[in-house]
Amino acid sequence: MNKFFPFALVLCLSLAGAVTRAEVAPKRGLTEVGQEQVKLRGGFWGPRQKAAAAVTIPHALNELEKDGHLRNFDKAAGVEKGKPDGHSAFDSDLYKVLEGAAYALQHFPDQPLQLRVDGMLDRILAAQQKDGFLISYFIIQEQDQRWDDLRLMHQMYNAGHYFEMAAALPGQAKVLDSAKRFADHIGGIFGPGKRYDVDGHQEVELALVKLYRATGEARYLELAKFFLDERGYAHGTERKPFDPTKVVVPPVPDDLPEAERKRLIRRNGLRVRNGRMQDHQPVIEQMDAVGHAVRAGYMYAAMADVLRFTDAPGYEKALDSLWADVVGRKMYLTGGLGTNERRDEGFSDAYVLPNAAYCESCAAIAHVLWQQRMALLKADAKYADVMELALYNGTLSGISLAGDQFFYQNPLVAKANTRRRPWIGLSCCPTNLSRIIPQVGGLMYAVGKDEVFVNLYAAGEATVALGGGKTVKLKQETEYPWDGKVRVTVTAAAAEATGIALRIPGWAQGHPVPGDLYTYADAQTPPVTLKVNGEEVAATPGKDGYVHLRRVWKSGDTIELRLAMPARRVHAHEKVVENTGKVALMRGPIVYCLESVDQPEPELATLHLPPANALTAEHRADLLGGVTVLRAEGVAAETGQPFQLTAVPAYAWANRDPSGMTVWFRETPAPPKAEK
Ligand SMILES: [Zn+2]
């Protein structure tokens, strides 16, 4: 064989994949610019993507192999004997890391990793049943219960992650084909006139939209919408409204051991339709965010996606209301979601935001994915504002700078001696982080009619196809998020007039978040300036939050955006009682925290930062992979003496000696203890 043959093959296949994807354009809103079109080599994201490829993904695969995720497929294929390892959602963890590997390998070719991935895919495919079914746990031991207890057993969650992985592998026709057979198997059982039922952990819905786009087969989009529309209805062989009085749960005998009794009672509780899995009402009637935050985020993301590709009456009203509820009343400053006050890993009531938060890493990722889809659906920068917030803060805090240690929960306050963990057996979070960082490039741009939308600023290069064979190439040079100067150079342009829409972040216009859940302590809004080829142009965004530039661009044209980045004090809405008298610090999109390791005053809960004391920013290339720190004169509670307080980006905490941490701290002296 010609030694160049493998290259030629890869090129053809990846081009074929790109062509297939481009065929399915949304009916409304914007189209993504895929991560494969965006190179982030230097700047903020380059080192992180490299760490994901070189450290996180191989490490995650090692851990999953050790825990038996791969072995389960061998058992299902009949190559090995024995009971399945782990729980019924085990397959999904492997799929997520392989999805991340698919993105990473496109940017950092790595022959050993590629061979390892290919070998794993073969072992997975070998386990697929003749009828298309592919969940190792049920193939090994419970063939007759494949689709029982859909709310507890995560069948669809596994399937969804399989579809997402397959859609991320455009060059692997056999995997996409296998995903289609699995999806068709599901579509043969569930759907109008068949079985009416929904999963307990949403994910398959947004994944089916991806499968639809990767294959052009509309039945997958219809199945996605079916699973969304069946929420809040009775399950069975016909569609009927849900009647809570008719829920039949199996009795739990008194004479069982206590642990077993508790287990059965819990299972019965989950059988009863509830808000935990957003199955308490039809989706178009859901106006308030309730329940498990990851499930909610994936479901809202799927709703936004479905609405972009087909008619879905009622979806937009629900999405608008859910968005206002989450962003205006239930979101942490970091973009994190979920208090777990109801032990459902989910939302509390409006403004109930204890800093000892749950904020699962997966919930922040689901939040990013939802906001991205809202930004695409509505072409409005405020959604990208929240996406950016949740990405830089809520999501990144889940993974160490080196890429090999993790948090499952990301509270806004932590006790001394909190440490990240090298792995987490219930590995949804580390595996989700393994796939989100390699795909960050795919969050940065979007395409409208003859217009490129720049949603995130980061050093790198993008090739943007505008349709009709038109292509624009852009290069961003910037130290963002440490500096608000962004230079965009057009390196290849279309012959006709083309739009470039620049998002002017809300944080640069006086709003740390859309709405009034969090506000800056002062009203200053430093000017935003914009130059095209050195000449100043108006930088005032439209109602949609973008400045729209339109001209016949030539290669070498430059756009210079300057966003001032003063350090800012942030206050929470007065109804967030936990933060009364407290302040948080932000600079640009970055939320800061105090880590006890940086303070001479170790009692983070009692020190304070008087409102008049100035904040200064200093970039420290030597610290935490290069970060800008904030400093101010704080007051120690014990002595009343001033001391220099140092704040670091909240995402970067717990990368040094074990330490306490707080995002919110006192602005006024702590009340005397007796008042507590
Ligand atoms: Zn998780």
Distance 546 CA to ligand 1 centre (A): 33
Q: CB of 155 within 8 A of CB of 199?
A: yes
Distance 357 CA to ligand 1 centre (A): 14
CA dihedral 616, 622, 623, 629 (to 10 degrees): 10
Distance 204 CA to ligand 1 centre (A): 16
Give the position of tokens 């596994």.
Answer: 158
Q: Give every CB contact of residue 59 below 8 A, 6+ residues apart in sequence.
A: 403, 404, 423
Alpha-carbon 593 to chain mean position: 21
Distance 361 CA to ligand 1 centre (A): 6
Question: What's the CA gap between 613 and 229, in Å, rounded?
Answer: 54
Strands in 38-39's sheet, in edge-to-edge order, are: 38-39, 460-467, 470-478, 485-492, 558-563, 528-532, 535-537
b (16+ CB within 10 A) / e for 346-378: bbbebbebbbebbbbbbbbbbbbbbbbbbbbbb
Distance 301 CA to ligand 1 centre (A): 17
Distance 348 CA to ligand 1 centre (A): 18
pLDDT for 254 equals 87
Tokens at 553, concatenated:
């661009």
- Identify the segments of the chain with pLDDT beneath 70: 1-23, 244-248, 269-273, 673-676
Give the CB-side neighbour count of residue 225, counting CA atoms within 13 A. 19
- What crossing angle do the helices spanning 218-229 and 293-309 adopt, rounded to 10°? 130
pLDDT for 30 equals 97
Question: What's the CA gap between 312 and 323, in Å, rounded?
Answer: 17
Distance 426 CA to ligand 1 centre (A): 8
pLDDT for 246 equals 67
pLDDT for 233 equals 86
Distance 582 CA to ligand 1 centre (A): 29
- Give which of 42, 64, 272, 80 is closest to 161, Cα–Cα: 64
Distance 53 CA to ligand 1 centre (A): 20
Give the angle 310-315-321 at the CA atoms, nearest 5°: 150
Distance 427 CA to ligand 1 centre (A): 7
Distance 81 CA to ligand 1 centre (A): 30
Distance 156 CA to ligand 1 centre (A): 16
Give the angle 244-248-253 at the CA atoms, nearest 5°: 130
Distance 196 CA to ligand 1 centre (A): 28
Distance 423 CA to ligand 1 centre (A): 12
Instruction: Pick left, alpha or beta for residue 383 (phi over 0 → left; psi -120 to 50 → alpha; otherwise beta).
Output: alpha
pLDDT for 673 equals 66
Residues facing 572 on adjacent strands: 518
Question: What's the CA gap between 59 and 64, in Å, rounded?
Answer: 9
Helix, strand and coil in the chain, % to nearest 5: 40, 20, 40
Distance 435 CA to ligand 1 centre (A): 12
Give the angle 268-269-270 at the CA atoms, nearest 5°: 90
pLDDT for 389 equals 98
Tokens at 669, concatenated:
């002296």
Give the position of tokens 């199955």.
Answer: 279
What pTM was estimated for this model as a whole? 0.94
Question: What's the CA gap between 180 and 220, in Å, rounded?
Answer: 9
Q: CB of 115 within 8 A of CB of 101?
A: no
pLDDT for 525 equals 86
Distance 85 CA to ligand 1 centre (A): 19
pLDDT for 358 equals 97
